[in-house]
Each structure stands twice: as structure tokens, then as C-alpha cells.
Structure 1
Amino acid sequence: MGIGSWFGFGDKSARASEPQPEPAHTVPTSQDLLDAVDRVEQQAKDGKAPGMVQSRLGRVARTVRDTVPRLDTLGSGSPQAYNVMATATNYLPDAIGGYLRLPRQWADSRPVDRGKTPLMILIDQLDLLGATMDKVFDAVCRADAEALVVHGRFLEEKFGAAAGGGDLIIGSTPVPPMPATDPSGPSPLTPPPGRTA
């Protein structure tokens, strides 16, 4: 070992055997996730996956596409956000790819695990992913709805109680509100007694 190796030059063969730092893993962007879903759907179409597979895959893909623009609602590090990312980039491609690598007749007819064929196993996996993505989407929407409720309460505290629809003012004259209707009374579409439509 010479002095040059201390300063980063010298015996290059020795440096080549030294462990190199791992490249930093980047977090996929929203577009990366959408592209991954597009690729796996195309892979299933190109591989002529059965209709029952493509329809279940389509359900999961639609929910992922609906959820991706709302992932910021969940916050970074959220398990739900991770599930969406992993479903798009790992779980779906692995499931579909594993099935498509098998000969079709064999995959659709040969029991391999507790009496289930690879096709049945794939369908179970897609159903599980679909149910999981539905729960994530529901959580995202509930978070958005909760933000709306919180904002409404803030406005009530700031400006007063919520109005029952507000008063209509034309010019400087308020227009009286419509009279309340009796739910057991005649429908507005029913002509008054003694008249026919």
C-alpha cells in the first residue's frame, strides 16, 4: 500500500475490490406509480390473461389511479401510502408476472397449493389487493372529508353559526323564505283539491 492510495490514487485494483456505497433509492413519483399500473395492465393484455384476471386487475388499477393524486392527504411515511406504492410497483407486477410465466393450460388446471391452481391463487391475490386498495381509498377520502368538516367548524367559530341556506336579498329588500312544507301534506306536484291536472 503506497502513499497514493491514501489520497485516492495509486493502486486502482485495490480500490475496485472495496465495497462501493449503495445508490440511494428514490421514492417513486405519482407519474411513476401510474406508469407502473399502465405497464402491468398492458402486460396482462399482451399475455392474454383470462378476463377474470383482467377485470380484477382493472379494479385494483382504477383504485390505485384514483388514490395516487390524493396520497399527500395521508402524509409521508403512512402505511397506506406505502401500500399504494408497493401495490403499483411490486405486488401487482409480481403477481401478474408470476402467473404469466407459467404455461397457460398448466396454470389454469394444475392444483399447486391446497387444491388451488395458480389461476385461483392469482385471483385470490387480486381480490385481496382490491379490498386493501378500497380501504386505502376510503381512508384518503375520509381524511379529505374530515378536513372539510374541520374547516366548516372553523368558519362557524369565526363567522357565527351555520345558516339554514341563507336569506336571499335582492337590492335592499329581503325575500321571505319559502314556507316549510308538511311532509304528510300534498305534494307540490299534486293539484289542489277540486282541480284536475
Structure 2
Amino acid sequence: MGLRDWWASRRAGSDAGDAVTPSPQPPTEQDVLASLNRVGAMLAEGNAPPVVTARVVRIARTINDTLPRIRNLGLGSMEGYSVVATATTYLPEAVGAYLRLPREWADTRPIDGYKTSLMVLVEQLELLAATMDKILDAANNADAQALIAHGMFLDAKFGHASDGGPDLQLGTP
């Protein structure tokens, strides 16, 4: 089949009214929360060690705190994508891969130099936690910067009472 034949078949398919498959929608906050709940259930069912559970809980808590603030960063931002991907892909895949291994083997046999599967997972969870902390800080800084900007506006508009600006006596005639 030559290029001309391929192009003709593509045009013929388009002319036949082939339905365009809609692209999947990005995950919603509910999808993110549902994914975190599934990871929690995986931990409980897989009898994960406390060192793993504690780290996953920390990551989930940070994601929960960050979700409402992602709007400040922009839903299409790299930070927003990282939060969603961590909750829906990175965290479930890391935990799932570890939990599929026999517990004794995963916790005692080196797989990466001297590191056991447990140690490798803990390192991955620490990296995810640090990244989620940075993103939460960035989201909170966006709100803090908005507060500072508003304070500067108010200062320019009304001045400081302690600097000789208007001394408003509210409620007195």
C-alpha cells in the first residue's frame, strides 16, 4: 500500500462518518480521592508494615490538603498534574508492586545492591512525600502572595493609621 492508497483510505473512512473517539477526561478531585482510598485498602489487605503505611498516610494527607489549592496553581500546571499523577498512578503502582511480593522475601532479600524491596519502596515514598510537600508549599505561597498584594493595595489606597494615614472613627458621629 502506497502513501496515496493510505491517504485515500483515510479520507474514505472520514467520509463514511467514522465517529471520533472522545479523549478521556482528566481525573476529578473525586477520582483522586477514590484512588487514595483504594491505596489505603491495598495497604490494609496486604498487611503492609507500619513504615509503609505511615508514609502513605502522610502523602495522602498532603494530597488532600493540596487538592483544593491546585486551582491557584492552575489545573493544567505541572504541579497539578504531579498531584493527580501521584494519587492515581505513582503511589498505587509503587505500593501495588511491593505488596505483590511475598512479605518475607520483600523485606529481607536485597534486590538493588544492598537494598531490599521494602527499602526501595520507602525511598520512593519519601521522594513522593517531599514532592507533594513542595507542591503544597507552592500552592500556599500563591495564597500568601495574594494576601501580600492585597495588603499593598490597601496600604496604597488608605495608608497606615500609624503612619499618619486616615484615622477612621467608625461608629462615632
TM-score normalised to the size of structure 2?
Answer: 0.82
1:162 aligns with 160
Alignment partners' CA distance in 1, 2:30 and 2:83: 13
1:33 aligns with 32
Runs of 4+ in 1 over 3 A off after TM superposition: 5-9, 20-23, 166-173
The CA RMSD over aligned residues, in Å, is 2.8
1:129 aligns with 128
2:71 aligns with 72
Query: Residues 148 and 49 of structure 1: is their aligned pair in 2 closer, same or farther, counting only changes over 3 Å?
Result: same
Alignment partners' CA distance in 2, 1:141 and 1:170: 33
Offset at 1:77? 2.4
Offset at 1:22? 5.3
Offset at 1:169? 4.9
Q: Which protein has the bigger helix share? A: 2
- Greater CA deviation, 50-59 or 20-29? 20-29
Sequence identity percentage = 49
Offset at 1:84? 0.3
Secondary structure of the residue aligned to 2:115 is: coil
Instruction: Give the number of equivalent residue pairs.
Output: 160
- Aligned pairs for 1:1-197 (under 5 A) are 8=16, 23-158=22-157, 160-164=158-162, 169=169, 172=172
TM-score normalised to the size of structure 1?
Answer: 0.73
Offset at 1:162? 3.0
Gaps of 5+ in 2: 1-12
Secondary structure of the residue aligned to 2:110 is: coil
Query: Residues 146 and 47 of structure 1: is their aligned pair in 2 closer, same or farther, counting only changes over 3 Å?
Result: same
Query: Residues 6 and 33 of structure 1: is their aligned pair in 2 closer, same or farther, counting only changes over 3 Å?
Result: closer
Alignment partners' CA distance in 1, 2:88 and 2:77: 17
Over alpha carbons, which structure has the higher Rg?
A: 1
Offset at 1:163? 3.4
Secondary structure of the residue aligned to 1:112 is: strand
Cα deviation code 1:20-56 (max 9, x no counterpart):
8654121111111111111111111111100000000
Alignment partners' CA distance in 2, 1:23 and 1:6: 15
Cα deviation code 1:39-76 (max 9, x no counterpart):
11111111110000000000100000000011100013
